[in-house]
């Protein structure tokens, strides 16, 4: 019963935010780099840090993670309204990651490990932030990860938190997973969710002592890495907005439905996650399997990307 009430509350908060965003003109105007063509309310993903805050007061999450998400959310929301320089954004990410490390007691681990995890975490947060390009992709991908984490026995005690965040995704999805989205997550939503998911990924790896769960982020991870490599080869500024992810090609140049592409990404990732959970339950989630799987998935991705790029060039 509490979860039904929580879901209704989150929907009402989202609707209230729309009134505020509309009044103060917090909108996304389409440009040549955009995947949308209509003026859309920005920052609907504010519901994610709000959900974390509610979870904190319900005793579901630590103050460290709540504060980490709140810090990046506040800075990101300001950036959504009035663009900030790289420095305040980077500083907020560093502080938030440090809080995540503190919560997970990572500062007691080997010193050589900390910079590696730090770079991966910062990279993940920024890569996930660029995902908010087409209707549904951010929230459906996040929901896929949350469902997958919820299925792991090590997270039984974390189910209330995961359910709360899942409900925030559903509340946001009502207004985002549409042919014509009413709102986008904005930096406040995508970066907040990225920090939360990154935290759970590190926590999962530590609790299970199984690095193979990194495959939970493999579909978008490979798309992000290969897109960055491709942009570097073209000597493009990788920190500027673009439309060169595979999902953007599918939705924009190839004309597939945004929602259909987002569902495709989420379903493929969910199937992979199911395989990962099954392999681990059988004791077969070895380092060799992870490497071979990533190599195969990357090869399939490159073949598909090459196919669609050739089709685009022919049109």
Of residues 109 and 29, more confidence is placed in: 109
Q: Where are the alpha helices (DSSP H) in the chain?
A: 2-23, 47-57, 63-81, 86-103, 113-129, 137-150, 159-176, 186-208, 218-233, 246-248, 258-281, 287-314
Question: What integer pLDDT is reported at residue 177 of this predicted model?
Answer: 93
Question: What integer pLDDT is reported at residue 29 of this predicted model?
Answer: 57
Q: Which of 28-32, 229-233, 235-239, 241-245 has the highest mean pLDDT?
A: 229-233
In contact, 10 and 50? CB cutoff 8 Å: yes
- Rounded to whole angstroms, how far apart are CA atoms 71 and 67? 6
Read off the pLDDT band of 311 (50, 70, 90). Answer: confident
How confident is the model over 36-50, as a mean pLDDT?
Answer: 81
pLDDT over 50 at 34, yes or no = no
pLDDT over 60 at 38, yes or no = no
pLDDT over 70 at 111, yes or no = yes
Question: Encoding tokens for residue 297?
Answer: 């998935």
Mean pLDDT rounded to a whole number for the chain: 91
Question: What integer pLDDT is reported at residue 251 of this predicted model?
Answer: 83
Question: What integer pLDDT is reported at residue 36 of this predicted model?
Answer: 46
Question: What integer pLDDT is reported at residue 31 of this predicted model?
Answer: 47
Read off the pLDDT band of 32 (50, 70, 90). Answer: very low
Read off the pLDDT band of 247 (50, 70, 90). Answer: confident
pLDDT over 50 at 301, yes or no = yes
Report the Cα–Cα distance between both ends of the chain, in Å, rounded: 54
Kindly report, residue by residue over 136-164, the tens digit of the pLDDT. Answer: 999 999 999 999 999 999 999 999 999 99
């Amino acid at each position: 019963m509490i979860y039904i009430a929580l879901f209704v509350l989150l929907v009402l908060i989202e609707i209230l935010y729309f009134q505020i965003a509309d009044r103060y003109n917090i909108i996304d105007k389409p440009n040549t780099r955009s995947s949308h063509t209509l003026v859309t309310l920005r920052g609907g993903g504010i519901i994610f840090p709000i959900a974390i805050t509610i979870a904190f007061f319900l005793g579901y999450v630590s103050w460290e993670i709540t504060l980490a998400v709140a810090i990046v959310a506040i800075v990101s929301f300001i950036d959504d309204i009035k663009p900030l320089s790289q420095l305040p954004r980077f500083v907020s990410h560093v502080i938030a990651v440090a809080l995540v490390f503190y919560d997970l007691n990572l500062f007691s681990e080997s010193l050589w490990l900390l910079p590696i995890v730090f770079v991966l975490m910062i990279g993940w947060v920024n890569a996930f932030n660029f995902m908010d390009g087409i209707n549904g992709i951010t929230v459906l991908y996040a929901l896929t990860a949350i469902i997958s984490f919820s299925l792991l026995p090590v997270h039984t005690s974390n189910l209330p938190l995961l359910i709360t965040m899942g409900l925030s995704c559903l509340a946001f999805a009502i207004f985002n997973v549409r042919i014509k989205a009413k709102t986008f997550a904005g930096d406040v939503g995508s970066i907040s969710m990225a920090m939360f998911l990154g935290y759970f990924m590190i926590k999962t790896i530590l609790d299970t002592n199984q690095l193979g769960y990194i495959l939970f982020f493999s579909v978008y991870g490979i798309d992000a890495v290969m897109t960055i490599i491709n942009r570097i080869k073209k000597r493009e500024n990788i920190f500027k907005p673009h439309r060169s992810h595979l999902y953007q090609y599918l939705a924009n140049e190839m004309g597939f439905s945004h929602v259909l592409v987002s569902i495709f990404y989420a379903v493929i990732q969910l199937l992979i996650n199911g395989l990962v959970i099954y392999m681990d339950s059988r004791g077969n989630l070895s380092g060799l399997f992870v490497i071979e799987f990533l190599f195969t998935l990357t090869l399939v991705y490159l073949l598909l990307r090459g196919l669609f790029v050739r089709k685009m060039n022919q049109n």
